Chain A
Amino acid sequence: MHEVSVTVNGVLRSATVPARRLLSDFLRHDLGCTGTHVGCEHGVCGACTVLLDGEPVRSCLLFAVSVDGAQLTTVEGCRAPDGGLGPVQRAFHECHGLQCGYCTPGFITTVTAYLRDHPDPTEEQAREAIGGNLCRCTGYQNIVASVLRAAAIQRGEA
């Protein structure tokens, strides 16, 4: 067993887990952060995407023990400082960028990191940004609209 400590959304959390514990299960089962969803467990769907030291990664393809000491941001950390919806969450809400919501945590984290680096994407770039995330409900149109809306909100054009 290994003692693993990570900072999740600004809070230091630890648990003792076997080496085989995936980061996705560590977050959900050991730390109770169930916002991160698990779809395929082989890197294809993107539902489990979290930010590791600020960059999007698949939490189902990492062992918790391997990222001991890291800073993680999950969908729970994409909220506004007052606890309300963050800009990307607000945009998905306004544009109906989700239906069942299963894929949404992966989109929110991916888009949050993308817009930090590309604050003013074109529609084509917005599509490219979400190319690694699968959604079985929405048909993506409203997700693309949400990315563009989130960018506008963040630029202060709310």
Chain B
Amino acid sequence: MKPPAFTYHRPASVADALAVLAETGPDGKVLAGGQSLVPVLNMRLAAPGHLVDINRLGELAHVTVDAGVVRVGALARHAAVERDAAAFAALPLLRQATGHVAHPAIRNRGTTVGSLVHADPAAELPAVLSLLSGSVTLASASGRRTVPAGEFFVGPLESALRPGELAVEALFPVPPKGSGTAWLEVSRRRGDFAVCGVGVLVTLSADRRVAAARAAYVSVGPTPLTVDLAEAVAGLPADTADWAAAGALAAARVRPEDDIHATAAYRRHLVAVLTARAGKAAVANA
């Protein structure tokens, strides 16, 4: 249970980090919070030759709200994102979901962007980014590109990050006025990975009818799954809309699998129940 040997790099700037990553290519891995990478190394599931530690790149520790977007830098820890008052005011979903990520001691070190790159289908933040149609900015020695959530999560534990790239920032768009969000999940213990989790985003018209409603799910597919709930609830008065129908709609769309934590049937049941509850909660928050 000890990590394999590796060469350690601690660049002092983003430019230096990109130079090292360009040189080490597929044999180089970024070390952010280490809350997913170090368990992987300790269990000898990977043995990268080089680790590029970004923990001294203070320039990447930002959480900022501007022009309708919450920007989260690669060194912003889960705990900092959760605490950030401006980010909460603009986008309550970030705090609502991050509070379910692991335990405080892990949130003190793990990063939001690291969680996105790690692309665990049981992780909250990839689903949040997908629900909001956000994106991730990737930098390499040869330039930058911004990848939308829909193309970023490629498969279980696989993101669109290429060798030599550093994810510098995630962009979470703020939903339009009149929107509300909620995050609900079921896990064995608070802080454990969810057996099923759901985030709902509703947007209401001026007369409090449902203009738009979407949900994103964790632990019921290989990548974060989003479902448009409009078919079940659009146009209805938000407070009396049939959220159970929205739950049934979602349950028919997801493709959960059996594993040691839960059966597929139980997960599908949770999708229906949690969607209905989260829909109502999102309306109450709008």
B38, B42, B53, most chain A CB atoms within 10 A: B38
Known: A42-B1, A42-B39, A61-B39. A132 touches B8 (CB 8 A): no
B10, B103, B190, most chain A CB atoms within 10 A: B103
**Which of A18, A25, A43 sits near B106, CB closer than 8 Å?**
A43
Tell me the residues in window 18-62 of chain B with beta carbons closer than 8 Å to chain A beta carbons. Answer: 31, 34-35, 38-39, 42-43, 51, 53, 55
| Interface residue? A57 (CB, 8 A) | yes
A61→B53 CA distance, assembly (Å): 14
Assess the B1–A41 pair: CB atoms within 8 A.
yes
Question: What band does the interface of chain B fall in when counting residues whose beta carbon is under 8 Å from A?
Answer: 20 to 34
Assess the A132–B191 pair: CB atoms within 8 A.
yes
User: In the complex, what residue of chain B is closest to A44 when comparing beta carbons?
Assistant: B39
Assess the A42–B42 pair: CB atoms within 8 A.
yes
Assess the A63–B8 pair: CB atoms within 8 A.
yes
A-B contact count (CB 8 A): 84
Assess the B6–A20 pair: CB atoms within 8 A.
yes
A57→B103 CA distance, assembly (Å): 10
User: In the complex, what residue of chain B is closest to A61 when comparing beta carbons?
Assistant: B38
Known: A46-B103, A66-B34. A128 touches B190 (CB 8 A): yes
Residues of A within 8 A of B260 (CB): none
Interface residues contributed by chain A, number (CB under 8 Å): 26
User: In the complex, what residue of chain A is closest to B33 when comparing beta carbons?
Assistant: A61
Assess the B3–A22 pair: CB atoms within 8 A.
yes
A52 CB to closest chain B CB, in angstroms? 8
**Which of B34, B109, B190 sits near A131, CB closer than 8 Å?**
B190
Assess the A22–B2 pair: CB atoms within 8 A.
yes
| Interface residue? B163 (CB, 8 A) | no
A28 CB to closest chain B CB, in angstroms? 13
Interface pairs A-B: 7 shortest CB-CB: A132-B103, A19-B8, A42-B39, A41-B1, A56-B105, A61-B38, A55-B108
Beyond contacts A19-B7, A63-B31: 9 other A-B pairs, Cβ-Cβ < 8 A, are: A20-B6, A42-B38, A42-B42, A42-B43, A43-B38, A43-B106, A57-B109, A62-B38, A65-B10
